[in-house]
């Protein structure tokens, strides 16, 4: 079996997905975990995905948002706050 | 503070019952946010249009829940409520406070918000109503210094809540507060970092009276029950009869299982017909008590009507011993969350998910054996095809 992927690498891949989807599609944490599983296969388990999401949030690169459900997005100022 | 006239809201002060308008007016005399809140509400009543935008990006650093963003779409007219965010504070199990703790909460909220509170919201949390974005981090910091934390919101585990249980109630079949506290502390990640398809609520009731209405409001309803027979004190039953209580009419005939009989001297029960409904116990305190072998039933799937219609929870585990640290319940929850998170649709509650995939498939996926107690009601459709097995004929 190949070496497990690092949390930082998964976080970077997730960040790329979020950045590409920004403004077009809102991604949930589950979407990111599924995408990471597809990308890295059995090198990436659920615990790593969870840690990667936590790293994204706690580094400030991403934030949680709520629009009917909870999503992960790049920090931005929403229109309503202006 | 100068307030605009609010003739429509004033109607809601009439009558002998408590009025939220009256309470907001008390605060409006010294708080601009509350004065503008009355104004924007009056405007909504006049125009029959809501002026709030709900949700968004606001929160405290690292958390995905606990703050519900709210903005007014008429900030020029009512600047005091341009931001009117809600903060959910995780309540102590059983809603027990010292007066010092309550004063601490109120002081924090006076410094950073409108001063309006819900004690408590239907989620169970302490609800702080109305603050602006720049106050969120200071509120969080002061709350954590005082030993409080934010509760859940969004697609996460919502703040677990429970009845007061053994603290004040003789019918409690397990320690609801200990269970609630353990679930809250163990599932901190699930509570603060939304990762589910939609919200998930745990409510713990100590007995089938279900004072927290968990069967209608919680995705996982943990309802205290007993496995053996109710206990009957015949001397106390006789006292009830001597006081003029009509035991046949008020107790025996109201028993949904028709398991009780009263011959004028002794109350007897047929255990296998008992529904554990609590009626006889409520009707004759002291005379009838829950059995000695106590635990809880786990029920799954209730919800209020938001995306789909309302659902009541149905039995998942008919009886389980409630012993700390509740590892079997934690393992069951993790299995449920894994399956639901994998295949649940966005904004699909676990009860709706089970309806969509079927109870059999769901049980297979979480590794739980079917049990006759899981049958909520007999099948209504008589045209059932089933596999007889072996030869492939149906």
Q: Is the pLDDT of residue A77 over 90?
A: no
B156 inside 8 A of chain A by CB: yes
pLDDT of B386 over the 80 cut = no
Beta-carbon separation of B341 and A73 below 8 A: no
Residues B103 and B82: beta-carbon distance below 8 Å: no
Highest CATH level, class, for B161-227+293-374: alpha beta
| CA distances for A18 relative to A22, B55, B219, B347, angstroms | 6, 19, 30, 20
CA nearest B85: which of B61, B105, B73, B68?
B68
Average pLDDT estimate for B69-89: 95
Report the pLDDT averaged over residues B303-310.
87
Q: Does domain B231-289 have CATH number 3.20.20.330?
A: no
Question: Each residue of A11-69: pLDDT tens digit?
Answer: 999 999 999 999 999 999 999 999 999 999 999 999 999 999 999 999 999 999 999 89
Rounded alpha-carbon distances, angstroms, from residue A3 to A6, A33, B17, B242: 9, 18, 67, 79
Is the model more confident about B387 or about B289?
B289
Of A57, A60, A80, the CB nearest to B53: A80
Domain with CATH 3.30.70.2500 in chain B: 7-145
**A57/B73 touch (CB, cutoff 8 Å), yes or no:** no
CA angle B365, B366, B371 (to 5 degrees): 100
pLDDT at B394: 47
B282 burial (CB, 10 Å; 0-12 / 13-18 / 19+) is middle
CATH of B7-145, one of 3.90.79.10, 3.30.70.2500, 3.20.20.70, 3.30.930.10: 3.30.70.2500
Q: Which residues contact B217 (CB under 8 A, 6 or more apart)?
A: B122, B201, B203, B302, B303, B304
The mean pLDDT of B43-67, rounded to a whole number, is: 94
pLDDT at B87 over 60: yes
- Amino acid B391: pLDDT: 62
Residue B63's Cβ-count burial label (10 Å; 0-12, 13-18, 19+) is buried
Domain with CATH 3.30.413.10 in chain B: 161-227+293-374
- The tally of CA atoms less than 13 A away on the side-chain side of residue B32 is 9
Mean pLDDT, rounded, for B325-329: 98
More reliable by pLDDT, B307 or B372: B372
Q: Name every residue whose Cβ is closer than 8 Å to that of residue B283 and which is 6 or more positions away in sequence.
A: B245, B250, B251, B254
Tell whether B155 is within 8 A of chain A (Cβ).
yes
Contact check, Cβ <8 Å, B347/A73: no
Please write the tens of the pLDDT for every residue from B151-168: 999 999 999 999 999 999
Interface size between A and B, measured as CB pairs under 8 A: 77
- Of all residues in chain A, the one with the smallest CA distance to B199 is A69
The reported pLDDT for the residue numbered B351 is 96
Query: What are chain A's domains?
Result: 7-81 (1.10.10.10)
- Quick one: B85 exposed, middle or buried, by C-beta within 10 A (0-12, 13-18, 19+)? buried
Query: b/e string for B245-273 if b means 16 or more Cβ within 10 A?
Result: bebeeebbeebeeebbebeeeebebeeee
Please, which pLDDT band fits residue B227 given cuts at 50, 70 and 90? very high
The pLDDT, as a whole number, for residue B368 is 95
Residue B379: what pLDDT? 72
Residue B198 has its nearest CB partner, among A60, A65, A69, at A69
Q: Calculate the average pLDDT of chain B.
A: 94
Structure tokens at B348: 């699909």
Which chain B residue is nearest to residue A64, measuring alpha carbons?
B64
What interface predicted TM-score (ipTM) does this complex get?
0.93
Rg (CA), chain B: 25
Q: Which residue has the tokens 């006076």?
A: B110
- The minimum CA-CA distance between A21 and chain B, rounded to whole Å, is 16
Mutation to test the A interface, candidates B190, B346, B347, most A Cβ within 10 Å: B346
Q: Name which of A61, A64, A72, A75 to mutate to probe chain B: the one with the most chain B Cβ atoms within 10 A of its Cβ.
A: A64
Phi, psi of B290 (to 5 degrees): -60, 160
Band (B380; pLDDT cuts 50, 70, 90): confident
Q: How much is the average pLDDT of B240-245?
A: 94
């Amino acid at each position: 079996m190949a070496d497990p992927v690092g949390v930082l690498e998964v976080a970077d891949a997730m960040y790329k997905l979020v950045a590409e989807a920004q403004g077009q599609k809102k991604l949930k944490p589950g979407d990111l975990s599924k995408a990471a599983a597809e990308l890295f296969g059995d090198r990436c388990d659920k615990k790593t995905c969870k840690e990667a999401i936590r790293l994204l949030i706690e580094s400030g690169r991403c934030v949680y948002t709520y629009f009917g459900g909870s999503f992960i997005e790049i920090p931005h100022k929403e229109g309503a706050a202006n | 503070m100068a307030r605009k006239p609010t003739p429509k809201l004033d109607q809601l002060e009439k009558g002998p019952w408590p009025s939220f308008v009256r309470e907001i007016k008390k605060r409006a005399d010294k708080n601009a946010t509350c004065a503008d809140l009355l104004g924007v509400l009056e405007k909504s009543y006049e125009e029959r249009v809501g002026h709030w935008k709900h949700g968004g990006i606001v929160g405290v650093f690292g958390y995905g829940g606990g703050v519900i963003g709210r903005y007014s779409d008429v900030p020029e007219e009512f600047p005091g409520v341009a931001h009117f965010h809600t903060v959910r504070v995780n309540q102590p199990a059983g809603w027990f406070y010292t007066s010092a703790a309550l004063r601490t909460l109120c002081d924090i909220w006076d410094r950073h918000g409108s001063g309006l509170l819900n004690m408590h919201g239907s989620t169970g949390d302490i609800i702080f109503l109305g603050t602006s974005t720049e106050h969120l981090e200071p509120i969080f910091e002061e709350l954590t210094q005082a030993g409080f934390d934010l509760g859940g919101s969004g697609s996460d585990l919502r703040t677990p809540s429970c009845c007061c249980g053994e603290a004040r109630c003789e019918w409690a079949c397990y320690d609801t507060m200990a269970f609630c506290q353990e679930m809250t502390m163990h599932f901190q990640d699930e509570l603060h970092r939304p990762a589910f398809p939609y919200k998930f609520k745990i409510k713990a009731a100590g007995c089938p009276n279900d004072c927290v209405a968990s069967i209608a409001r919680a995705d996982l309803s943990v309802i205290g029950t007993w496995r053996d027979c109710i206990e009957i004190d015949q001397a106390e039953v006789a006292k009830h009869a001597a006081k003029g209580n009509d035991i046949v009419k008020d107790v025996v005939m109201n028993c949904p299982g028709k398991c009780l009989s009263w011959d004028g001297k002794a109350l007897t029960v047929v255990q296998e017909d008992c529904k554990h409904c609590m009626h006889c116990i409520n009707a004759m305190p002291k005379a009838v008590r829950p059995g000695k072998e106590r635990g809880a039933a786990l029920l799954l799937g209730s919800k209020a009507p938001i995306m789909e219609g309302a659902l009541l929870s149905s039995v998942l585990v008919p009886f389980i011993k409630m012993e700390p640290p509740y590892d079997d319940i934690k393992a069951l929850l993790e299995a449920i969350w894994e399956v639901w998170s994998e295949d649940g649709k966005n904004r699909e509650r676990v009860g709706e998910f089970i309806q969509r995939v079927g109870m059999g498939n769901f049980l297979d996926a979480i590794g739980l054996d079917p049990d006759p107690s899981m049958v909520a009601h007999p099948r209504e459709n008589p045209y059932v095809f089933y596999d007889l097995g072996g030869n492939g004929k149906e």
